[in-house]
Structure 1
């Protein structure tokens, strides 16, 4: 493998993980960000985000001299053989991806790129972005390549270093091969394709995962009405190799930084070319309904069945991040459910092991406490919204003694129902019968 000089523009989840991992593979990497205070922290090896193994990888990169940080994109790109765009592409008002930051960075650095440099879009971008980037750069000596990321928050480092596949797309096949060679040490299956196909892969994969989640959530609701057990149903489905076992666990809805944005973006892409993607529209609608259904389920167990009956009812909430292993609250289904509960008048105290101190998104919604037992003290019921492993280790005898009520609503089917039941607390999951006490 030839070690390359690489610039990574942006130090969010994708950018920092990409930079640190490429440095660990032997490349010389400079990561740039507009936030000078953040760059100063990273230069000291301080990683703000909760991401397993990332702080250690950054420290190793700094110690080896293969990883560095600078303020501003122009400072990073001058000597780079490859420049990775890892900047935000948030959802625009029309549901599509907002490429304002991407275009701004290209205008800023396009004329500074070295001859024969490869410009790589790592951020999730809609079909046609590579062509748009090339149009903005206006340089025949700079190739544009799409190299979408497939990183899950909480396991991003592992996903980067142990990928299921590497996807690289460009109309310049030699440039695409150069980018693919960066990952040669990983020995992962590589898909070399055109730019448009590579750009569509990420959306196609994420929207299918969102569809599976919406499907299993609806299936769990059917189970509740017909007395079936979703755990047994999905176990039977898991055995079919053509179905697969991933993303077949019910929950309060999907969320995070990718699935909501990517489903809306693909829907917008489809509409722009006259394709009625009714299935994807239904998936998005079903996800919104799932969050409302969680509130109704909580009202059924802690109120009188109507969400309005939760007014003045105190609930202890366990988990707020969109999934365990991360401190990310972006489009968290847990936070959405908590907000809906507060809107119906419930009094909420919440605990999440990844959150400490002030959290502005909880203001007027819930009181954040530093201990799970403090969260449930005096509550009419407990609501589990994030699948943190430590929730399976709670002392249910102690919890039962602190509760005013005797109910736990487990929206992740995360707990062993026998533990709360043995302490006299009724367990209610999704699509599963509540075991007798």
Structure 2
């Protein structure tokens, strides 16, 4: 196991080692690790197989925004390895494999992908006579499909419920959510702020920014007795009259709020190129989370696809963490404003040239190189920053409509007139730090 030294690893307690198994093999991490970070620190990057073609899958966002990291615990299927805290003695296995994760017999299906388009089984095996589908093909396909295994003999667990009431519920404790909660509490409102992360701060805990901003916000929040903060808490939906279920551990809080602000942030998107799903290709935010939260160096030689300033921030973070930067690829005709800082460090920038293809090891278990035009560049990490979409789930519960803005080339959310909630920060299109904080105060 290799880890970066301090100040990396903000979530780790290095004095408390944790032992666990994955696919029957022994591993260890630290208290504060998640399953995915502990495996990555031990150079285990393949976590699962894809649903249909059984292609190797690895970390993409480190934020639970994709199915790549779903794993099986003895009595619980479909557990997100990038969100689930590591516990001593955990027995973790991969899902959707036939044989073993490393040698999945069903991986042969990938070779016939061109003959198995989306929905082929509906068109091929269903018709006027559905007997063959029901009696033969359907059971066969169902055995191949599905993800985790439900243990009907799993031990019974205890769950309880409680009731909460507040003037304002803020969902998301990033810069916008913190600013909204502090402003409302300073005005005298009874405020509840919840976040699914183990700490407050959101992007401030892993992005390249002034740490004093988070310290200042946290200090202001701590001085407000009418501001309650609940971390490790999932807001599981929005219902009529601002009724929201908050889940913290094994407890469900039935929460009724007079007003609601959703500061749920944005979800990074992958870039489209051939073999863009290989393990070792991940979002820039995932790279930064691995570095700052878990002290994991995500690669030794990296290519960064940067279509925005976030990509340049990821590149600088990688250089400072000792990763060799093979190239920065900026698909825009002119490189961004941050290009000069990297050129001064002797790092080449390829402007106006997107990544067209990636190539992997035998069995596609890790990326080994990428192609830009006719040029191949060796690497074991590709960090992708090409944009994001608003975290739309909760806003859409409250009636928001997803749209697209041609001027900014971004997905948008619009709330109906008289909506019972407000949006703030990146979910409302305010991705810059200062504008996100101002938007939180406005909301």
TM-score (norm 1): 0.23
TM-score (norm 2): 0.23
Higher relative contact order (CA 8 A, sep 6+): 2
